[in-house]
Chains A and B, each alone.
Chain A
Amino acid sequence: MTISVWPDNKPLDVAAIRDLPEGERAEQLKLVAKQVRRLVVQMIDIARAGHIGGDLSVTDALVTAAFGVLNISPETADDPGRDRLILSKGHCAAALYSVLALRGFFPVDDLETFMKPLSKLNGHPNRLKVKGVEANTGPLGHGLPIGVGSAIASKLSGKNWQTFVFTGDGELQEGSNWEAAMTAAHRKLDNLVVIVDRNRLQQGARTEETASLDPLADKWASFGWEVAEIDGNDTAALLKAFTQNRNGKPLAVIANTLKGKGVSFIEDRVEWHHKVPSKEQVELALKELA
């Protein structure tokens, strides 16, 4: 089985997207996001494992940050001043790997080895195995503290990079996030952005039926953060939020998303946290993502 990408055989010049005017950028980002979703479905099909729901919900935000805003490229991968993208919800490694492959960090064909014996593409990302991965996540609630440290380093070193941290919403039940939130606000880390993938589902149930998070925007605001609440599956809205004025504070983007976004029978269903689609369902999913 081989991974197919850009089915129309017309690859986008992904490196050029960041320089496009905002409207055009948002349109191109949509195309990239569709490719990432197709790759995710194929990877999970080949591996017969993975976290499809969260991969598909976070795709638009990841793509918008990586291709539309941040200075992230294979050429600058070892540059001390590069921007940092941290996937705290590490179970969605397939989405991150797809983004990194499309951005040229490693061959797209390597995605076929996802979770295979001795593959560099482990079920959770490893910075020592894959360039572009900044944090070895997997246990939830680790990304934001690391992001806070990164944002402090950015200021201390005078290199002034941006740090973007992607968390799940269920993940926010971990207290470490709120410890880090206090540090970030206290230190006025306006170079730090947390993107909360607010799909309202966690592993076994809805967040509000487990340990409710609402009113979530108020929580971040009361912790001293600038807050933007947007449609997290809309690249235009994401672009706007990522580049908005932060008023000297860290920014929390509450990205309201659909878990499983883009595949009708997966969308907003708790059982698709880590269920693997059947062969027929993979066909259907790829048709919907054509």
Chain B
Amino acid sequence: MNKLVVSPSPHARSAESVPKLMYGVMISLIPALGVSIYFFGISVLIITAVSVLSCVLFEFLIQKYMLKGKPSHKDGSAILTGMLLAFTLPANLPVWIVIIGALVAIGVGKMTFGGLGNNIFNPALVGRVFLFISFPVAMTSWPEPLQRLKYINAETGATPLAVMKEGMGKQPVSEIMNELPGYLDMFIGKMMGSVGEVAAIALLIGLIYLLWKKIITWHIPVTILATVVVFTGILWLIDPESYADPLFHLLTGGLLLGAIYMATDYVTSPMTKKGMIIYAIFIGIITVLIRVFGAYPEGVQFAILIMNAFVPLLNKYIKPKRFGKEVKHG
């Protein structure tokens, strides 16, 4: 017999691994991708493929030639960042802009901090917000659904949130709502919006899958959504003709995508359950503040990035419940 292996306990490991978790998230994105392909057709495939490939390529190149570290492009995280970035873009965005977005997401959002695990901001959102600021026109023209074979040449229009922002204060909410798709259409994703954010139903299926596979816990997504519902609900109860109802806020824009996929990013969200809840409440509040009172129609991306910056602080001061500190009878 060879020499015995000696190492400290434990001697058993779970089957968890980083790629497994990443692929789990990707699987949960399939319904949203499917619905998006159904409504926006071929352009979704182009955008997603370009985004994923460039993210992986940039990760590989930066690791190999600039950081000279262990190549990490195989752990799946770059593929996931690419998918999530694509999901936040309009389907008619030109390829070269997508590539710039990927470069910023990976290069600035992830690698400048030292790669996976060290970044403070969600890389996909860093890329998305950079594009939003640099290419405001291209990033706010949205193809209308069901022009499946068109790409950059698609007819465009405004998102429901933009229409709402435009009209608010000038005309009653009920009138604005008449110009918008019905709730059922919004629920299944038949409206204008980014590639992956339109289909509420598909995103919720993704959420259930993530919870079932224990890839994420309910704390962040549910708290964000609940906060938005409560906050917009209060405004709506005060004056239903000036403020849209909570359901409108839930179904439109990037809220579900943000709450389920962006805010829950492991690296950039808090390490304790209590921390997660505080983080999520603030994301909900900031989102509504921007949407209702701010300059932009949508605020969830900014809300998440702002709260990402507070995560180190939350981790420092919010500690898990320790065993044996105080005796609580439940």
Asked whether A and B interact, the reply is no
Taking Cβ atoms with an 8 Å cutoff, the residues of B that contact A are: none
